[in-house]
Structure 1
């Protein structure tokens, strides 16, 4: 004969067995553990990709700057500046500057554009071509202009024998840092070095102009 107490014990045992089953079960443990590290893990992966793009972009910028600067060093750029326009008039300083910019980054249609334009917005690149006294250019050549946002650039390719410093600067958009979830920003390396969250990429080259033909020199240079 089954008593009331025995029935009560039997009805409780399945619940106890179920609780023990869940306590011993490890199914899904890996997914739960990965959920704890997923955010910092992917943040690190994206940061590595971002850093790789920064290095790649810097290398491309330096290569394009060196190629364009060599045109100034040899006097070829100054010779092009001296050439007349189709209507027979002289080029304006703005047109000469625009031609140099195009030699660095040409925002032409696909197929005709420079390699730099595939990765950079040519309109955001800043240029500073200046003449220095000797090679003691100091730290100014490695720092961005204080008015970078409104800096329109300078173009002075120099006379034969002048010391010229060419700086090409670009505000690189650090996409990892600009994640919409602000809490995730603390999980990544901060690659930005500008107040607007971008990273300034800068290519600098200093050289002394070759003694090119003085007839191609800019106005104000010695003619002999």
Structure 2
């Protein structure tokens, strides 16, 4: 088939497509568009929450290292300053006032709390405290953040947590033998 015939056939097809007023294509797109955009939005939101979880893990690991090596105990910082150390690392994705922290010493590694303390579909931080521990103490740093889902269908899937996804990070370690300095601002009983 000569090139001129092919071009003429393509031009005729374009003209007939432009004159077609049946609307089948528009109806088909409308039927597929809503689920497609919901899926794309869910993928983007899941990516953002995953990135925020990784960011929280990194911040907890970094600050836990300061407790592990005795830097927090040597500086004798208050709980608010400790919170700011973590918040400074996550504040571009997470709101600091929603971050719930628990830093405490425990008698043995078998006693590490692994459950998420929940009360009325929220993280219950009523028993959380701040104690970086002494040298050679087994210490646990737990951080919780309730991420509100934006996509309504994802919000409904998280029904057990009031429509929020609970992100958490934990670091458990035995403090180094950094000396006998204790943090005077510890508030665990």
Q: TM-score range by the shorter chain?
A: 0.7 to 0.9
The reply on whether 1:159 has 2:124 as its aligned counterpart is no
For structure 2, which runs of at least 5 residues remain unmatched after alignment? 1-19, 185-189
Q: From the CA coordinates, give the structure whose radius of gyration is larger.
A: 1
In 2, the alpha carbon distance for the partners of 1:80 and 1:40 equals: 54
**CA distance, structure 1, for counterparts of residue 45 and residue 135 of structure 2:** 42
Does the CA contact (< 8 Å) of 1:192 and 1:200 recur in 2? no
Of the candidates 52, 57, 61, which is equivalent to residue 57 of structure 1?
52
Structure (1 or 2) with the greater strand fraction: 2
Specify the alignment match of 1:217 in structure 2.
182
* Root mean square deviation, CA, Å: 2.3
Match of 1:99 among 81, 103, 119: 81
Task: Give per-residue Cα distances to partners, 1:12-71, cap 9 Å, x unaligned.
Answer: xxxxxxxxxxxxx67421110121122211111111011101110000000011111111
TM-score, scaled to structure 1: 0.66
Listed as ranges, the matches of 1:19-30 within 5 Å are 27-30=22-25
Q: Contact 2:149/2:155 (CA < 8 Å) preserved in 1?
A: no
Q: Secondary structure at the match of 1:210?
A: coil
5 Å matches for 1:34-183? Answer: 34-81=29-76, 96-105=78-87, 114-137=88-111, 140-146=113-119, 148=122, 151=125, 153-177=128-152
SS of corresponding position for 2:108: coil
Cα distance in 1 between the residues matched to 2:133 and 2:119: 24
Q: Deviations over 1:149-207 (max 9, x none)?
A: 56253101111111111001111111113xxxxxxx2xx58563653211111011110
The one of 208, 212, 222 equivalent to 2:174 is 208
Q: Residue 130 of structure 1 contacts residue 157 of structure 1 at CA under 8 Å; is this kept in 2?
A: yes
List alignment gaps of at least 5 residues for structure 1.
Answer: 1-24, 82-94, 106-113, 178-184, 220-224
Q: 1:195 aligns to what?
A: 161
State the TM-score, normalized to the length of structure 2. Answer: 0.77
